[in-house]
Amino acid sequence: MEFENIFDTHAHYYDNRFDEDRESLLESLPQRGVSLVMEAGCDMQTSRWGVEYSRKYPHLYCAVGVHPSDAGTVSPEDGYLEELAKLAKEEKVKAIGEIGLDYHYLDYSKEIQQQRFAQQLELAKELDLPVIVHDRDAHGDVLSMLQRYRPKGIVHCFSGSREMAEQLVKLGMYIGFTGVLTFPNARRALEAVEAIPLDRLVLETDCPYMAPVPFRGRRCDSTMIVHHAQVMAGLKGIDTQQMIDIANENGRRVYGISL
Ligand SMILES: [Zn+2]
């Protein structure tokens, strides 16, 4: 099983689970079929980290933003939006993310999460950058905020219904899927993939999380994407390399990466 041209559109290589071998792993990716990786920031520190690391590796790009689970660690008064705007001027920064709503963990109140989400959606508009949206158990509110702000971008690790996927496609959004596609309880995600046109699908790992079967529960990395690419390809009736190529092109289109 040899594949090439993989674009992992969502990864977290800053995570301490990569401390042992981060440099050698990142360096090895192009030889192992992974030609592009989008590193997603979760707070100010990891956003700065992404900018720093994207300078070191030609195949690494990054997004800067504050995740809903970190929503309370920043506020407009401390200048976080100005710092994000400054970071976003860097050449390898291609999106604002990940941002959104997480009502599963509710680390911060819905109100705080919605404020930070709205502020960063506005920032992305101002900077003319796409967004990477995190939505966990907040489908209704995420959809209505996207309908209101109309950003371009990706809803990542999609867990909504087929109907929501169709609404997002109407809004012009792209939709990302992780190793969840290989899990036994993936029925809803598989139905969503079927409903999404090929030119709006992107592949991602969300590594170190969400390792696909047969690696479930282990540390995930970008090379494992082939396992869910295979599932996605099967649903679309094309071969796996074709799926990887199309997803790569989609990812570069939405992030504005020309090679
Ligand atoms: Zn993520």
> What's the whole-number average pLDDT of the chain?
97
Span 96-102, mean pLDDT? Answer: 98
Is it the case that residue 47 has pLDDT exceeding 60? yes
Amino acid at 145: M
Ligand 1 centroid–CA 70 distance in Å is 12
pLDDT for 222-241, tens place per residue?
999 999 999 999 999 999 99
| pLDDT at residue 259, rounded to an integer | 77
Q: Are 93 and 53 in contact (CB under 8 A)?
A: no
User: pLDDT > 90: what percent of the chain?
Assistant: 99
| pLDDT at residue 240, rounded to an integer | 98
Is it the case that residue 1 has pLDDT exceeding 80? no
Nearest to 254 by CA among 159, 133, 84: 133
Is it the case that residue 243 has pLDDT exceeding 70? yes
pLDDT for 18-41, tens place per residue?
999 999 999 999 999 999 999 999
pLDDT for 164-217, tens place per residue?
999 999 999 999 999 999 999 999 999 999 999 999 999 999 999 999 999 999
Ligand 1 centroid–CA 204 distance in Å is 9
Q: What are phi and psi of 7, to 5 degrees?
A: -115, 110
Ligand 1 centroid–CA 11 distance in Å is 6
Is it the case that residue 74 has pLDDT exceeding 60? yes
Ligand 1 centroid–CA 40 distance in Å is 6
Span 7-16, mean pLDDT? Answer: 98
CA dihedral 41, 227, 175, 245 (to 10 degrees): 100
Ligand 1 centroid–CA 240 distance in Å is 24
Query: What is the edge-to-edge ordering of all strands in the sheet holding 174-177?
Result: 6-11, 34-40, 60-64, 93-102, 131-136, 153-155, 174-177, 201-203
Is it the case that residue 12 has pLDDT exceeding 60? yes
Ligand 1 centroid–CA 10 distance in Å is 6
Nearest to 155 by CA among 207, 216, 204: 204
| pLDDT at residue 191, rounded to an integer | 97
Ligand 1 centroid–CA 132 distance in Å is 9
Ligand 1 centroid–CA 176 distance in Å is 11
Is it the case that residue 52 has pLDDT exceeding 60? yes
Q: Whole-prediction pTM value? A: 0.97
| pLDDT at residue 59, rounded to an integer | 98
CATH of domain 6-255: 3.20.20.140
Neighbour count for residue 7 (Cβ, 10 Å): 26
